[in-house]
Amino acid sequence: MVFTAAPPFHQQLPDPRRQTRTPVTATRVSRPALIAASVAGAIGAVFWRIDELGLGTTITGIAILALVVATAPDEFRDDQRQYWIPLTAGIAGLLAVPLFLDADWVGGICLFVAICASLLLFLRAHNLAGVWFAALSPAVAPLFALVEPFRHRSRTDTTATTRRARIRLGLLALAVAAVTAVLLVVFGALFAGADPTFGKLFDIDLSNPLSADVVAAIFAGLFIAWVTLTGALLTRVEIAVGAESDAPARRYPPVWTWAVPIGALLALFVLFLVMQARALFGGDDYVQRTANLTYSQYAVRGFWQLLVVTLLVIVVATAAWWFIDRSDARQRRTTRVLLGGLCAATLLVVVSAFLRMERYINAYGATRDRVFGLYFEVFLAAVIIALMAVGINFDARPLVRRVILLTVFSTLGFALLNPDQLIAKTNIDRASSTQKVDAWYLGSLSADAYGQIQRLPQPARGCAMWRLEIRQPIDPSWRDFNVARNQLPARPVDGGEPAGCGTFRD
């Protein structure tokens, strides 16, 4: 019989680097966060309605943002102050847009970007994994938020006496809340019956506890509280990222496997730009001879394709980055030449697309989709410049957060341009040379264009103003208030179409 010595005790322990770690963990939501959700719910019950975009939306959105950030864990506020402070300010600016602009499409874009940026902010996303988790979180996090109020808040006090004390305290708090609610509803209903103007103070019919106004307020309060609690839960999520030292050495493919397709694509870009230069400097005569199209037709047919080209280059550059060995000096030089050249060529494509749309607007006027297309093309160009900056030191870690900040503040800048006002100004300025104006279309714009519409001569101004005013609500809620709509004159009572207005329709 042969005896062998047992290995040392430390060798029998499992290697902690090989332990399976939970990729996503979340700590319990604190009591201040639960109180903040209740406060946000009360604010939402009064100020927010799903079909009203204005003052109420701004107040509710900023309240949710402030309460979630204020009750977030200390490490959330201590981490990257130079990032989350300007990002929070930018999100608040986007939430303020519905208070000042009347264009629903601009307000909708700003709210969408604000919601997406808030998810990224709460999760402290700094890489693609965080971005993907933020994209999936709206489908998962609200379900966990529903049960969060019922989880135990602490594990330290487990004695029976402490548990009974907590139960008594909770029941007492519920009793106080119930009595307060009953008193407010009963006396509020009596006051509303005595003075109908009192019921209009919060635009809620308190005389009937089961009215649609009260039900809408309850739904709004519960929904906003749920949203706030979800945000508070996301600030406590930790996404595990393995250290590079623990990861096995990665084998990169040979440089030619990605350099050949990128080089071929760069050559195609150069060929396209050469042809573009001939078309841009050749003018309308050259285009008609070679493409059998007017210059305006040539411009609009190519703009949207070039917009997609710009977007795809961002995807291609991001994918190629995965195959580059950044520790190899030769691959770094090749990357700067090929990917840097591709990004530079893409910027020239952006210039070509911009000039195409500019000429089309000069020929046919500005519209919402044309102005938004120009903005989105410029935004993509800024993203490409951010990608090119990565090639300076080959450090892509700050890229995601830079793009997030760029998205938020570029969207805010687009709103500050006041697109509907810009569209009206562009078309009216163009009318001074063409003697043509689509007053019917100008009347379809929001109240943001009111000041510019006043520059139109009669009867075009009367037609545009009639169409603008007739679309305004007869008795708008104070939650729907915004600065642009407030400057409009009262809606006409008769609502009759001005004589000759039909001649302005295209």
Per residue in 299-330, pLDDT (tens digit) is 666 677 778 888 888 888 888 888 888 788 88
Instruction: Please tell me which residue, 390 or 11, carries the higher pLDDT value.
Output: 390
Give the pLDDT score at 420.
Answer: 94
Secondary structure (DSSP) of 238-286: EE----TTTSPPPPPPPTHHHHHHHHHHHHHHHHHHHHHHHHHHHHHHH
User: Do 369 and 465 fall within a single domain?
Assistant: no
User: Do 63 and 132 fall within a single domain?
Assistant: yes
- Give the CA angle between residues 329, 335, 338 to the nearest 5°: 140
User: Do 265 and 382 fall within a single domain?
Assistant: yes
User: Do 73 and 136 fall within a single domain?
Assistant: yes
By C-alpha distance, which of 355, 277, 346, 350 is closest to 313?
Answer: 346
User: Do 407 and 445 fall within a single domain?
Assistant: no
Q: Which of 44-48, 141-145, 492-496 has the lowest mean pLDDT?
A: 492-496
Give the count of alpha carbons within 13 A of 277, CB side only.
7
3-state helix, strand, coil in the chain (%, to 5): 70, 0, 25
Q: Domain total for the chain?
A: 3
Question: Quick check: 137 pLDDT over 90?
Answer: no
Distance CA 257, CA 474 (A): 65
CB–CB of 293/301 below 8 Å? Answer: yes
Report phi then psi at 323, rounded to 5.
-100, 5
Question: Quick check: 400 pLDDT over 80?
Answer: yes
The whole-chain average pLDDT of the chain stands at 78
Host domain of residue 220 = 24-154+202-239
Give the pLDDT score at 323.
Answer: 83
Report phi then psi at 489, rounded to 5.
-70, 170
Question: Quick check: 494 pLDDT over 80?
Answer: no
Give the pLDDT score at 12.
Answer: 44
User: Do 112 and 208 fall within a single domain?
Assistant: yes
Q: Does 6 reside within a domain? A: no
Q: Does 190 reside within a domain? A: no
Question: Quick check: 118 pLDDT over 80?
Answer: yes
Q: Does 1 reside within a domain? A: no
User: Do 264 and 413 fall within a single domain?
Assistant: yes
Q: Which of 373, 395, 417 is the last residue of a domain?
A: 417
Question: Quick check: 413 pLDDT over 80?
Answer: yes
Distance CA 1, CA 460 (A): 109
By C-alpha distance, which of 208, 202, 168, 204 is closest to 186?
Answer: 208
Any bridge partners for residue 24, and if so which? 239
Q: Report helix angle 55-70 to 104-122, nearest 10.
A: 10
Distance CA 440, CA 451 (A): 16
Instruction: Please tell me which residue, 53 or 489, carries the higher pLDDT value.
Output: 53
User: Do 79 and 218 fall within a single domain?
Assistant: yes
Instruction: Please tell me which residue, 31 or 108, carries the higher pLDDT value.
Output: 108
Q: Does 18 reside within a domain? A: no
Distance CA 414, CA 93 (A): 12
Distance CA 293, CA 285 (A): 10
Give the pLDDT score at 110.
Answer: 96
Give the pLDDT score at 397.
Answer: 79
Q: Does 186 reside within a domain? A: no
Q: Which of 239, 268, 286 is the last residue of a domain?
A: 239
CB–CB of 121/84 below 8 Å? Answer: yes
User: Do 140 and 67 fall within a single domain?
Assistant: yes
Q: Does 350 reside within a domain? A: yes
Question: Quick check: 283 pLDDT over 60?
Answer: no
User: Do 263 and 137 fall within a single domain?
Assistant: no
Distance CA 401, CA 471 (A): 41
pLDDT band at 18, cuts 50/70/90?
Answer: very low
Distance CA 420, CA 417 (A): 9
Mean pLDDT for 19-43 is 74
Token duo for residue 38? 């209740």
CB–CB of 380/311 below 8 Å? Answer: yes
User: Do 348 and 496 fall within a single domain?
Assistant: no
Q: Does 180 reside within a domain? A: no
User: Do 333 and 469 fall within a single domain?
Assistant: no
Task: Identify the sign of the CA torsion 105, 111, 116, 117.
Answer: positive
Q: Does 270 reside within a domain? A: yes
